[in-house]
A and B are shown apart, each in its own frame.
Chain A
Amino acid sequence: MADQHHDTPMLDELENGPWPSFISGIKRLRDKHEDQRISGMANDLLGQLEHSYETRKGYWKGGTVSVFGYGSGIIPRFSEVGSSFPESKEFHTLRVQPPAGNYYTTDMLRQLGDSWEKWGSGLVTFHGQTGNIMFIGTSTDNTQHFFDEINEYGWDLGGAGPCVRTGMSCVGAARCEMSNIDEMKIHRTLLNNFTDDVHRPALPYKFKFKVSGCGNDCMNSIERSDFAIIGTWRDDMKVDQEEVKKFVARKGREYVIDNVVTRCPTKALSLKDDDTMDVDNRNCVRCMHCMNVMVKALSPGDDKGATILIGGKRTLKIGDLMGTVVVPFMKLESEDDYEKLTEMAEETIDFWAENGLEHERCGEMVERIGLVNFLEGVGIDVDPNMVNDPRQSSYVRMDGWDEEAEKWFNRKAEEKAAS
């Protein structure tokens, strides 16, 4: 067999060095796998990849491949140099939705691995950048067979193309003391409400939900999702003064002043002469820094909920956009709360589906039409938490001022009456 292998002198260089090598892994499939379908596919895949390394070009093109009943979830790949590398000429990826929080038993990983070995290349990634399990490389026919098999034991495809994409949520309440929300429940409630929009692409472009349990935003949701749900709290943070004293005794006052007190973005912390910590909770912005440093002494409050931001995305087409706050705080405890969240997501997607241009992300639409038009479209009231600063340009027509001011006062009166 050895003499039938494609020479891969450049890829061989990636077997050197201490970090685990994906090239060695693909070669194991080529050299050790008994199934000629897999070993042959690995050989031709390495051949094409070596060709890419030599010429500095990619040789895959897209196409249309799907499973019965869906229009999404497969990344089709046909080789442009398939005549030289015939056994990997069809090399499609299936995007499969992981469990919220990315938990697996080894038994389940083995079962998925066995199915993939039966129908695919034997190459898999946990996870792609959108958050899917990426089963990399199979033929058009086997795409359906593999999906049928794993779909029977609980796995479904994720999104690809202009649709609701697979969501992501952090480890959250399962293992993290910073968590302020039930990340897994939010993730599954939202994603599984939009199953149809995941599987059948009919939106202007992609739409991503990401859930982080606190402002550390480990899921990168502000910059990388159209709809970010981030945990926070609105009562006072908890301070265990005995633990504060212990921390100061261990690390020294200078360390606490330089690394905690002066790093607070709103100057809301003060180390007292008796080595206790004073917190100006009205001005704390829940940034998480002090809690990251003093994990035992400081922790979130009890009145927990979420902040929602809309419209984060990367460069194409108009440049990077961060998400924008549209809900400063909402409780996420009762079923009613969850219904409110789902309705808001539906309103957002409906409005964007109606008003977004082709290939225009939700945030780009908001940029084009202005935040206020978006808010009015989805029925959300304006709030000063939505801006860094009020308007600085006087080029605006304001002949409805009195009505708008009255709305504000009425809303404030209602809030007061309700509380």
Chain B
Amino acid sequence: MTTVSLTVNGQSVTADVDPRTLLVQFLRDNLRLTGTHVGCDTSQCGACVVHLNGQAVKSCTTLAVQANASVVTTIEGIAQGGELHPMQAAFREHHGLQCGYCTPGMIMSAIDIVNRKGNTLDEQTIRAELEGNLCRCTGYHNIVKAVAAGAKGMAQAPLQQAAE
């Protein structure tokens, strides 16, 4: 067993884990944060995307022990004070989901895109940047609309952005 200490959604967490525990397993099984999904388990589909030190990563391809002393944000950690994060609100408003399985990863990736590319995103940029996230309902059209709207929404909610 190896001790791992990290911050998850603002809370300090310390646990002894088998070193082969994936970050996504640690989040789901140890911390019961089941919003982060395992889709393909082969680093392709992006259902497991979380933020590691502010950057989007695939938690199915990261060991929990690699996240030692890091800051992790999951889909459960982005709403503030009972209010949906602007990107979550945009996905709801634009119906950017069908079955919802890919949605946590889509939203965490979308926030990362805005952090890197700014609040005004054209369709081509969004589609290119979402290449690491698969939606098997083929719901991309509304996801792209939601990301564009969420990006604008994040500009209007600077406090929430800073908190994330």
Say whether A and B bind each other.
Answer: no
Question: Which B residues form the contact surface with A (CB < 8 A)?
Answer: none
